[in-house]
Structure 1
Amino acid sequence: MSTTQNERLRGLLEPLVGAAGLDLEEIEVSRAGRRRTLRIVVDSDEGVELDACAELSRAISQKLDETDAMGEDEYVLEVTSPGADRPLTEHRHYRRATGRLVRFQLHEDGEVVARILAVDEDGIDAEVPGVKGRKPTARRIAFGDIAKARVEIEFNRKDKKEEEA
């Protein structure tokens, strides 16, 4: 049984990423004409610093040079953190989004925009913001009810540090 290039790359790179204290979120190999790009997306509970991406990029580059995982053709290596608009698909994504406003597409109840208050193994405790002067309401959302979820970007969101001050 043969393995795909992404599976081989994941097996090769996951230990490097883990040793850096990060999670390997995504591997994408794309081609535009003669140019190939290998994009590695990493994340952690504390986020990812630019210096960590640079160090990891050097380690990955060295590891790839030692193997034939990318073949003989030239490629561009990008090591990055996920964007703010990436979909929430893993339990850790929801946990990391605690305190954030999220747009949930539910299998049966349509769409809900709510702030994640807590995450456990079965689902999410959320707060649906009040509209037109109404108070926010608590809502429990089971993981099995979620079709899609994505963090909403809030330009006027108060930082946790501001709220504590």
Structure 2
Amino acid sequence: MGENVIRLTEELVQPVLEDMNLELVDVEFKKEGKNWFLRVFVDKEDGVDIEECGYVSEQLSEKLDDVDPIEFPYFLEVASPGAERPLKNKQALQKHVGRRVHVKLYEPIDGDKEYEGDLKSFDNDVAEIEFRIKTKTKTVEIPYDKIAKARLAVSFN
């Protein structure tokens, strides 16, 4: 059911986002405590403001009410993904070459399942990440199919 709700939400919100020149970053549908939350994360080059999120929420809420895919009470939230936004697909990785990223892998590469560093390139479905260990700079090449999760990372340098 959760995947169907996510897929339908993506379909319903896309026309609204296209009209506003916004990008769909992620959709989550999950239970926290006693409550269910449907969260839609949107963004654009210079960030989104609360009015834009409010407008998307109103438009999406109307569409969800018409289709009524969720048979129980839930909270709809539309927000910015924040500084550590998820990178959910190849296009997102390509778009963020040159930025600091954090990736978790399905299986270890060179003995590690997590890497954080600068995304130097994303070519032929391989992410090249430059990272530091103490005073040494190293590079790792990670095939896209080995990436379980990727997100932008905040750097405090």
For normalisation by structure 1, the TM-score amounts to: 0.66
Are 2:129 and 1:126 equivalent residues in the alignment? yes
Q: What's the Cα RMSD here?
A: 3.2
SS at match of 1:4: helix
Structure 1: which 5+ runs fail to align? 157-165
Partner amino acid for 1:108? P
1:92 to 1:43, Cα distance in 2 relative to 1, 3 A: farther
Report % sequence identity.
Answer: 28
Q: Which structure has more strand as a fraction of its residues? A: 2
Show the counterpart of 1:38: 38
Show the counterpart of 1:146: 147
In the alignment, is the contact (CA less than 8 A) between 1:115 and 1:129 conserved in 2? no
For the residues of structure 2 that align with 1:118 and 1:76, how far apart are their CA atoms? 38
Task: Tell me the number of residue pairs that the alignment of Structure 1 and Structure 2 aligns.
Answer: 149
Structure 2: which 5+ runs fail to align? none
For the residues of structure 1 that align with 2:141 and 2:99, how far apart are their CA atoms? 15
For the residues of structure 1 that align with 2:126 and 2:4, how far apart are their CA atoms? 33
Higher relative contact order, structure no. (Cα contacts within 8 Å, ≥ 6 residues apart)? 2
Question: Equivalences for 1:59-78 in 2 at 5 Å?
Answer: 59-71=59-71, 74-78=73-77
For the residues of structure 1 that align with 2:144 and 2:90, how far apart are their CA atoms? 9
For the residues of structure 2 that align with 1:138 and 1:75, how far apart are their CA atoms? 44
For normalisation by structure 2, the TM-score amounts to: 0.68
Q: CA deviation at 1:147?
A: 4.0
Whichever of the two has the greater Rg, that structure is 1
For the residues of structure 1 that align with 2:40 and 2:96, how far apart are their CA atoms? 21
Q: What do residues 73-106 of structure 1 show as CA deviations (whole Å, max 9, x unaligned)?
A: 5543210122444553311332343333233344
